[in-house]
Amino acid sequence: MPDTHFYRYDEYDRTLVAERVDQFRDQVRRRLAGELTEEQFKPLRLTNGLYLQLHAYMLRIAIPYGTLSSRQLRKLAEISRKYDRGYGHFTTRQNLQLNWIKLEDAPDALAALAEVDMHALQTSGNCIRNVTADHFAGAAADEIEDPRIWAEIVRQWSTLHPEFTFLPRKFKIAITGSPNDRAAVRVHDIGLRLWRNAAGEVGFEVIVGGGLGRTPMIGKTLRAFLPKNELLAYLEATLRVYNRYGRRDNLYKARIKILVHEVGVEKMRADVEAEYAEIRDGLLGLSDETVEAIARQFAPPHLPPRSSLVAAVEALRLEDRDFALWLKSNVAPHRVGGHAIVTASLKPAGAPPGDASAVQMEGMADIADAFSHGELRVSHEQNLIFPHVAIEDLPAVYAALGRLGFAEANVGKITDIIACPGLDYCALANARSIPVAQRISNHFADLARQHDIGDLKIKISGCINACGHHHVGHIGILGVDKNGVELYQLSLGGDVDFGKTALGTILGPAVTADKVVEAVDALVATYLDARIPGERFVDTHRRIGAQPFKERVYALV
Amino acid sequence: MAKNLSGDLQVASANRLSDGVVVWLNDAGEWTTRLDLAAVAREGRAGEILLQRARAEAFSVIDPFLVAVIEEEGGVIEPLSLREKIRASGLTFDAIAAEAVRYA
Amino acid sequence: MPLYNEAGGLPATYVALSFADWRQRLDWPAVALANTDPVEDLAPHVGRLRLIVLDFPKFSDGRAYSQARLLRGRLGYRGELRATGGVLQDQVAFMLRCGFDSFESDQKGFGEALARARTLFSIVYQPTEDGRAPASLLRLKRRNVMASKR
Ligand code: SF4
């Protein structure tokens, strides 16, 4: 088994997770014996990642900062076979959801997870949720520092935090270490962006109060530059202010973004800084030694320099059009010469976005072992990533992915759709998401056409909770329910790219399910007619406004 | 749930505690996975009684509630809302099979 | 509601005054705060206080956890710190970590659960007012021991 290049649990971490499994086993036993009511039990199962959906319980497994070893992925496949229906769904929060778990089996499934140092802690409930990070971390050519070191530090601090387990509402933290933000830090409760100041020191920009959901907001800068070692003290100060003053009278006004909005970012900053001043010299300060010990575990694999120009790759590029397209859309630059970051698309034409069968998971684990130092990543776009692939291995990786059905050259393209589970699974949904995604995906399946259309992000949510991030889709699709009929509201102009983060605006009246594909087609046609060279869909929309899109769509539907 | 879907016919439903599976209450006061065996309340007052009965039998299920249904020809019971239709008949697309490596 | 005192001593028997009433009688040694009352205002008086009662209107309303930590950690309060309201056995480990040492609960089995709560988790990640060494500190110590052996 290959050595991992990210944080490994030690006996402390293992003990804690094991004790937590024991505690949950006892809680499940008490629930099944009738000693706990559903009202008392629900928050307990939720903090262990267990939801009740329409047809069954769902277990949401945390994949901290989206990093997985091949061994862990194989275990996930095994758990999905043994306790579920043999497939899983990768989510926009770098989690894996199993949709058919039995309550009776849940403690065993959690114990199996613990065997590979994984858990489902804090994937639900009003606590600090699983911390997310740039999925290219540790490999990206543009990276300043690996954000996962800090994500791991935050993971530990936030795990079973006694003060912050019953916050007004859930709390999501995302971290990026690159100027190209791939972690969407401006739409999280707290976003952390590592950057280098004029003095050459690396620190965090702390962004607060972003988020999607019912009241989407772009986060505001709370602190422009925070010395790294003070991170936990600053987070604790911010969470304490939120825990004390965040609203609890209205579920929909309880996120920190509403607090920031209501008191203003200046007052929020003053409160946080006052609290921080009290605790900054306390026990939460991080010693260099502690940080270095964790950082060492994220030391990248040794990648011998190799040639970037490989004859066999070039030959195949000329010969195989799909491979050439795949190199363009699914392969990103690595910081070590002769290497690349490969994104495997979990969005083959017509498939439920982000789903993988047990066999596919095992196949991906094999590819990771053979070609990517045993490591994979989950992206918030619901794809899987091989972070360290030698360029000369690209044809072999492409072929292996093709056998699994995950070699679609569509990353960032119109069929790389993000979709939440929607009404097929979710108890909160108004409308279905997955079948809509499937129809759009089938309609635009032609790869050459997709590449001609270029970068276009479609994001679909089955209700206002916005798990499919529709607000920040170039084209956002929101399912609504009108007198028992599913309708879909379209919005244009959303974006998560750093510096350009924007929320989409609604195009007009919602359309019926059978018109969604036509409507998207009309939007695309409008763009193709109006674009000037080099313009993406979202740029054209920004330049010409919504009107031409609107006219074309509503002439049709 | 949409307002205009409260028809006259109702059945009681819940999710089973042990595994979350969708169940309906039958005439014998037992929970069944078969909608066609569900006890049907035919007017508002009977609905209330059915719900009370469901709550009394709720030890092995989670939060029982009433579902508006229609009776089609031949006595086939069908939920009115899409949500309840999906609860009754499952996913509306084909989920991938454990051993599948390619999507159809 | 039954009272459980973790410290093992006799439960304090003072009647706790509401914050508003107590402000009229600052020499009284027992006060019951709402979870919106400003604990900071107690700073000049904590030396005299013997009992502070903090309220959980619902078990899911966690404001009193912060109040408890501020009282213990920042204000240095040493008297009895009692949790009341939605106090359930599955939260008691968190309450202990935040400095509570007595509990009012009518949940069945609460007493046994309280006895177990300190040993439920042998590892903690955060430094808090219970003084337990978090994992980061244990690791640091272990590294130092290993370094000194070398
Ligand atoms: S957006 Fe709504 S329908 Fe979709 S998963 Fe979230 S809560 Fe469910």
Q: Give the count of beta carbons closer than 10 Å to the beta carbon of residue A428.
A: 15
The verdict on residue C130 lying in a domain is no
Please indicate, yes or no, whether residues A290 and A144 belong to a single structural domain of this protein: yes
Residue of chain C with shortest Cα separation from A24:
C90
Q: What's the token pair of residue A35?
A: 């000693």
| The pLDDT of residue A1 | 42
Please indicate, yes or no, whether residues A175 and A90 belong to a single structural domain of this protein: no
Structural domain containing residue A60: 11-114
Chain length of chain B: 104
- Reported confidence tier of residue C8, pLDDT bands at 50, 70, 90: low
Please indicate, yes or no, whether residues A436 and A543 belong to a single structural domain of this protein: yes
Instruction: Using the predicted structure, report yes or no on whether residue A498 has a pLDDT greater than 70.
Output: no
User: How many angstroms away from the CA of C21 is the closest CA of chain A?
Assistant: 23
- Reported confidence tier of residue A370, pLDDT bands at 50, 70, 90: very high
- Reported confidence tier of residue C35, pLDDT bands at 50, 70, 90: very high
Mean pLDDT value across residues A175-200: 95
The verdict on residue C135 lying in a domain is no
Instruction: Using the predicted structure, report yes or no on whether residue C56 has a pLDDT greater than 90.
Output: yes
Say yes or no: C125 contacts chain A, CB-CB below 8 A: yes
Q: What's the token pair of residue A34?
A: 């009738």
Listed residues A404, A430, A456: the one ending a domain = A404
Please indicate, yes or no, whether residues A422 and A399 belong to a single structural domain of this protein: no
Half-sphere exposure of C62 (CA within 13 A, CB side): 28
CA distance C61 to C40: 20
Residues of A with Cβ-Cβ distance to B81 under 8 angstroms: 484
Q: Which of A334, A202, A8, A274 is nearest to A192 (CA)?
A: A202
Structural domain containing residue C32: 3-120
- How far lies A206's CA from each of A193, B69, C98, in Å? 7, 52, 27
The order of strands in the sheet holding A173-176 is: A132-133, A173-176, A190-196, A202-208, A220-227
Instruction: Using the predicted structure, report yes or no on whether residue B2 has a pLDDT greater than 70.
Output: no
Pocket residue to mutate for ligand 1, from A92, A436, A460, A465, most atoms within 8 A of Cβ: A465
Instruction: Using the predicted structure, report yes or no on whether residue A4 has a pLDDT greater than 90.
Output: no
User: How many angstroms away from the CA of C131 is the closest CA of chain A?
Assistant: 11
Residues of A with Cβ-Cβ distance to B98 under 8 angstroms: 80-81, 85-87, 357-359
Task: Map residue B79 onto helix, strand or coil.
Answer: strand
Distance (angstroms) between ligand 1 centre and the Cα of A475 equals 17
pLDDT in tens, A87-121: 999 999 899 999 999 999 999 999 999 999 999 99
Atom of ligand 1 nearest to the CA of A430: 3
Please indicate, yes or no, whether residues A77 and A28 belong to a single structural domain of this protein: yes
- Specify the number of domains making up chain A: 4
CA distance A390 to B15: 50
| The pLDDT of residue B1 | 38
Say yes or no: A10 contacts chain C, CB-CB below 8 A: yes
The verdict on residue C134 lying in a domain is no
- Domain with C105 in it: what CATH number? 3.20.20.70
Q: Sign (positive/negative) of CA torsion C121, C123, C128, C130?
A: positive
Of residues A328 and A305, which shows the higher confidence score? A328
pLDDT in tens, C75-89: 999 999 999 999 999
Please indicate, yes or no, whether residues A327 and A286 belong to a single structural domain of this protein: no
Residues 42 through 101 of chain B touching chain A, CB cutoff 8 Å:
59, 62-63, 80-83, 86-87, 90-93, 95-101
Average pLDDT, chain A: 95
Please indicate, yes or no, whether residues A145 and A292 belong to a single structural domain of this protein: yes
C132 CB-contact burial (10 Å; exposed 0-12 / middle 13-18 / buried 19+): middle
| The pLDDT of residue C5 | 86
Nearest to A166 among C61, C67, C109 (CB): C61
Listed residues A404, A432, A463: the one ending a domain = A404
The verdict on residue C80 lying in a domain is yes
Distance (angstroms) between ligand 1 centre and the Cα of A213 equals 10
Whether residue A465 has its Cβ less than 6 Å from ligand 1: yes
Q: What is the DSSP string of A76-92?
A: HHHHHHHHSSSEEEE-T
The verdict on residue A412 lying in a domain is no
Residues of A with Cβ-Cβ distance to B90 under 8 angstroms: 55
| The pLDDT of residue B103 | 54
Instruction: Using the predicted structure, report yes or no on whether residue B12 has a pLDDT greater than 70.
Output: yes
- Is the distance from CB of C60 to CB of C86 less than 8 angstroms? yes
The verdict on residue C139 lying in a domain is no
- Domain with A169 in it: what CATH number? 3.30.413.10
Whether residue A139 has its Cβ less than 6 Å from ligand 1: no
User: How many angstroms away from the CA of A199 is the closest CA of chain B?
Assistant: 52
pLDDT in tens, B15-44: 999 999 999 999 999 999 999 999 999 988
The verdict on residue A150 lying in a domain is yes
| The pLDDT of residue C11 | 60
Please indicate, yes or no, whether residues A284 and A380 belong to a single structural domain of this protein: no
Mean pLDDT value across residues A495-517: 91
Please indicate, yes or no, whether residues A85 and A168 belong to a single structural domain of this protein: no
H/E element, B63: strand B61-71
Please indicate, yes or no, whether residues A254 and A367 belong to a single structural domain of this protein: no
pLDDT in tens, C98-128: 999 999 999 888 999 999 998 899 999 999 9
Distance (angstroms) between ligand 1 centre and the Cα of A347 equals 19
pLDDT in tens, B86-102: 999 999 999 988 888 76
Whether residue A178 has its Cβ less than 6 Å from ligand 1: no
Task: Map residue A420 onto helix, strand or coil.
Answer: coil
Please indicate, yes or no, whether residues A264 and A174 belong to a single structural domain of this protein: yes
User: How many angstroms away from the CA of C2 is the closest CA of chain A?
Assistant: 19
Residues of C with Cβ-Cβ distance to A35 under 8 angstroms: 108-109
What pairing do the DSSP bridges indicate for beta strands A458-461 and A418-419? parallel
What pairing do the DSSP bridges indicate for beta strands C3-5 and C102-104? antiparallel
- Specify the number of domains making up chain C: 1
E strands along C2-68, which residues? 3-5, 17-18, 30-33, 51-56
| The pLDDT of residue A459 | 98
Please indicate, yes or no, whether residues A191 and A282 belong to a single structural domain of this protein: yes
Listed residues A404, A434, A463: the one ending a domain = A404
- Reported confidence tier of residue A40, pLDDT bands at 50, 70, 90: confident
Query: Scanning the structure block, which residue is given the tokens 């569900």?
Result: B38
Mean pLDDT value across residues A255-279: 97
The verdict on residue A446 lying in a domain is yes
| The pLDDT of residue B50 | 97
pTM: 0.94
The verdict on residue C149 lying in a domain is no
A347 CB-contact burial (10 Å; exposed 0-12 / middle 13-18 / buried 19+): buried
The verdict on residue C41 lying in a domain is yes
The verdict on residue C106 lying in a domain is yes
| The pLDDT of residue C9 | 56
The verdict on residue A127 lying in a domain is no
Mean pLDDT value across residues A241-264: 97
Angle at A500 between CA A499 and CA A505, to 5 degrees: 150
